[in-house]
Amino acid sequence: MIKFQINAIGKLKKSPVLELISSYRCRIKNSLVICEFELKKSAGLPTENLKLREAELLMSNVPAKSFVFSMDERGELLNSHQFADLLQQKVQQCYSSFVFIIGGAAGLDKSIHDRSDQILALGKMTLPHMLARLVLVEQIYRAECIINHHPYDK
Amino acid sequence: MIKFQINAIGKLKKSPVLELISSYRCRIKNSLVICEFELKKSAGLPTENLKLREAELLMSNVPAKSFVFSMDERGELLNSHQFADLLQQKVQQCYSSFVFIIGGAAGLDKSIHDRSDQILALGKMTLPHMLARLVLVEQIYRAECIINHHPYDK
């Protein structure tokens, strides 16, 4: 069993985007945990300090021996099959935990990129972080389908 | 006033994804029309015939002198600012109508690409066409914000 984990800034309330994320999440056969973090007393913090403190939260619960992706539109662009192949290759290299880091509106601190195994882009376009979360969950589901030769991905 | 038009295969029923699309659509200041097409009696059609007949529907209501984008993950990757710049540049060249063509599950027929002014990718990853529609509407809204120096896009 593979463990997928998304560490993200911002708590999603009951909303259409949460409903969509939940619907894809239910279809994922492996474990997918979404950990939401929110900085208390962030108002008025300079952006660089905010990003640094968010980075500490985002990296606080990364299981040992995880393969860590930081999500950034300036990262590597993979198509869905290349993403599935990469996951499969890492599983063959004995990784069983994958962590995806999604920052907040201020973006990710450089320290996250330094501590990541791969910087991954869902596209070059900037997405609101809630849509990025949705697209990522859908791509994790799609990767599972590709690996398992499920007809979802044509 | 610019007219944006999305021509897409598949009718969206009341759903979380439709709610999200509607919420971005309401925020767009220019006109955005979404035209949904569905092929009757498509069952059993070979894929190539299906794509050809869908292409006829998708191109049936393109206003004269429109700038036509066909959406394909193998197309050109622009970031949100490059997309906004491109729209602004085309407006300066006197285009006032932009049509975005989104195919169905079978993909787009080659004839659509031939008749498009630009093949545009939202990312390299394959998205379900309903999510592609959502991401596109959000990017149109974001492009407006960039052009109007609205603080939405940071």
What confidence tens digit (pLDDT) does each residue in A66-80 have? Answer: 999 999 999 999 999
Least confident interval from B3-12, B44-53, B93-102, B108-117? B44-53
A105-118 residue pLDDT tens: 888 999 999 999 99
> What sign has the CA pseudo-torsion B141, B147, B148, B152?
positive
- The shortest C-alpha distance from A127 to chain B (Å) reads 8
CB atoms within 10 A of CB A92: 8
pLDDT at A42 over 80: no
- The shortest C-alpha distance from B94 to chain A (Å) reads 25
pLDDT at A154 over 60: no
pLDDT score for A102 = 96
Instruction: Tell me what percent of the residues of chain A surpass a pLDDT of 90.
Output: 88
- The shortest C-alpha distance from B139 to chain A (Å) reads 8
CA distance B134 to A145: 22
CA distance B96 to A116: 44
Between B25 and A154, the higher pLDDT residue: B25
A125:B126 CB<8 A: no
Provide, as residue numbers in chain A, all residues whose Cβ is less than 8 Å from the Cβ of B79. Answer: 73, 124-126
Find the mean pLDDT for residues A114-126: 96
Q: In this complex, which of A16, A23, A79 lies closest to B20 when CB atoms are compared?
A: A16
CA distance B75 to B126: 12
pLDDT score for B153 = 63
pLDDT score for A100 = 98
Q: Which chain A residue has its CA at the smallest distance from B82's CA?
A: A125
List own/partner pairs for B80-86 with CB under 8 A and 24 or more apart. B80/A124, B80/A125, B80/A126, B80/B139, B80/B142, B80/B143, B80/B146, B80/B153, B81/B146, B82/A124, B83/A125, B83/B120, B83/B139, B83/B143, B84/B142, B84/B143, B84/B144, B84/B146, B84/B147, B86/B118
Q: How confident is the model at residue A84 (pLDDT cuts 50, 70, 90)?
A: very high
A79:B125 CB<8 A: yes
Provide, as residue numbers in chain B, all residues whose Cβ is less than 8 Å from the Cβ of A134. Answer: 131
Which residue's structure tokens are 């894929």? B47
Pick among A51, A124, A154 to test the B interface (most B CBs inside 10 A): A124
- The shortest C-alpha distance from A48 to chain B (Å) reads 14
A80:B122 CB<8 A: no
pTM beyond 0.90, yes or no? yes
Provide, as residue numbers in chain A, all residues whose Cβ is less than 8 Å from the Cβ of B103. Answer: none
pLDDT score for A41 = 79
Q: In this complex, which of B23, B77, B131 lies closest to A124 when CB atoms are compared?
A: B77
Find the mean pLDDT for residues B45-61: 94
Pick among B20, B22, B69, B124 to test the A interface (most A CBs inside 10 A): B124
pLDDT score for A1 = 85
Find the mean pLDDT for residues B117-139: 96
The average confidence (pLDDT) of chain A is: 94
